[in-house]
Structure 1
Amino acid sequence: MNNESWKKRTMDIKDEIRKSHEELLRLRRDFHAHPELGFREFRTSRIVEEHLGDLGLEVRRCAGTGVVGVLRGSGPGKTILLRCDMDALPIEEATGLPFRSLEPGVMHACGHDGHTAMLMVAARILAGHREEFPGAIVFLFQPNEEEAGAERMIEDGALENPRPDAVCGAHLWSLLPTGVIGVSSGPLMASSYYFKLTICGKGGHGGAPHAAVNPIDAASHVLEAIKTLHTLEFDSLRPTVISVCTLHAGVKAIVVPETLEMEGSIRCLHDGDEEVRRRFSELVEGVCRLYRCTCDVAFRCGNTLLNNNEEMSELAMNVAEKVVGSGNVRTRDLSVMLGDDFAEFSSRIPGVFYFIGTGNESKGTNIAHHHPRFDIDEDSLPLGVEMHVRLALEYLNEAICNS
């Protein structure tokens, strides 16, 4: 099939999305009113599963509440995977929206309700044109992104039958204005490893500190030592952030505690995170020894470095220009120290992750993610649908033209 033949068969994508506007809003608002935490997305995944089944896709569950739908085209060809996340956060909503969360202490404070709605509508549009493209499109609805659910999906076979040749993901982003799409190649979102330090001393009476070994004293010096890593040992052109966010010790004002627990995260926007963790452990263990304490250091991976593939990024940039115009495509100053476990997919298969601006000060949607008043500008939703649809079609079209 040549380019001219393909162009003659391409649908008016924008018109189809306009006709789907009511469905798009209905889905997003329904998911927003019924948020579910990671691996508890029972209602959400049931709705997604039924939706994909009604479209005639091959549908299967993965990692419990994850859903994978496969749309086969008109013949053999490449396979592209489109991914979204479905989980909410343990936050009490304070938006006052008419469709605000009905679940106490749980809300969609990161835009995953919009992500789910966008991919569902994209699936319906693409399913109506399955005779117009070869290969296959995999729609992956992921649970528990906030706690690294991608790895569980991969372990459960999400990237098999069929094996994708490319993966694409998107995030509604309040840091960008509505109507702007951000995409760039290379490191985009940092790796994140969560640490837990257990510092052990010797308990005793607060009136006789010389007869005890107070882990709180050791911890105070550990905090100072961590700060020196940034200023003295890490290259400022290779961003690294270490944040201590919890510290717990003691139960009474006159009792020296036996142990202290400290937790936080290490984030790197470069591929040297393993050396950072090694030096972190060496430093905190050494400081604790100086203060006659022992220290156990444990790490848990949140996500690896999200590093966009150059060719896939170029494709996404070209598609974004068709969606919002070249003047509204941002390709610089996008990298952040936040993480997303889409990295687990793109570290295995060439992929691209991009931001869809949803910030609008007049609508109050420029508030930071994970905030009780976080909301999205619903005018950004059709742009996300169009990006999904065009990326899939243009990737498969390029595969034909280059074959």
Structure 2
Amino acid sequence: MTSSIRRVFTAFAPPAVEKKSDALRFGILGAAKIAPLALVTPAKSHPEVIIQAVAARDLTRAEEFAKKHGIPDVRGSYEEILDDPNIDAVLIPLPNGLHFEWAIRAIRAGKHVLLEKPSTSNAFEANILFNLSELSQPNAPVLLEAFHNRFHPSVHKFRSFIDPADVVHVHTDSMVPWVLTAKDNIEFNYALSGGSMMNLGTYNFAILRMIFNADPVECLSCDTSIFGDGIHDKCDYDFKAQFRFPNGGIAEATTTLRGSIFWKPSEARVTMREVVVPDKSLPEDQEKVRSRQITLHGFIHAFIWHRIDVKDTFVILDTVDGSPVKRWVESTSHKAYTYQEAGGEFGDLPGEDWWMSYRYQLEEFVNRVKGRPTQYWVEGQDSWNQMKMIDMAYEKSGLGVRPTTDNEWSGAGIGRFEWVRNTISNLSTLAR
């Protein structure tokens, strides 16, 4: 078995470990397809995580899910999990339109929350969710938007080659073959906040924000494709958006949920401006200039496969007339399945080459809950800014921001008008 096959095989079938007496007990709200990848499998190798219970709208489905994944308890409703004092934390892998409601319910029940991305349906909801008073109290619940790929060592190795101030252009793309996304799937349900920007596109937007270490100031364009059948007219199945960032850099995000049957790994390609590179070996009338392009292939599921390509173009210039004296290209490729391979500030962090990005994320989630230092985290402000970027693109596209529904307001345990009144009265504290 080659090392790559062994690594991938072990990622999906990790060794089980003995659980500690103070392990966190998780409940899962919904027998979603993503739940095994997002939590059940990574938990097997974490000594401080136990998957205790699952609930689904269909009890039979929950029972089948529990049996398949060795989960001890099946509950008849999501509320039963939240009411259980023996459950410490919950995973919320529900459809996008239900994230806001059930995250609030869980936080008010005192549960730590691992919340599938996107965190909410729109920035208005994200503002409210991440500024809940319960989150600022002593011993407050931990809330994390589960952007698993941002915790993988490869992303941080990739960033180590980038100076955000020098980025002039970024291209990102991601895709899913059309055979995996039927028209009637929840990905294209507007009432549940569907659309390609709310699905794969969230990864593109997040990696752009990481590359620039900033938020976009403008969405320059956003072209979308829809089915146009009178039913799914507000849900994009692909899009191409272009943004301008504070340093003047331009970024584009391209995603399709109806791509070719031949899958292509996600890609983030960064072009940086020319910079002078000090070189004492050169005579006084010459200088070395470098332009750089860095590409991360596989930025979404880097644990399966990824490659970081760095292409540096060097030119020796005559400083008197600006003419080139010499030109050459240096290309290198890198990988980082562990933080030891990534090096830098994160070089001492734990991990195995077979750890999924979800496993790295779970490690930090547990550390935060246990009051231990976390080396990387997606803060609430970051998640709010992420939704602002998504809203910006949807507004530019003409499809409109994903909706906040009456069900979400009532489900949050508070009336719509009371929410609005409270939000308006607290604008000074909510605005950051």
Give the TM-score of the pair, scaled to structure 2.
0.24
- The normalised TM-score by structure 1 is 0.25
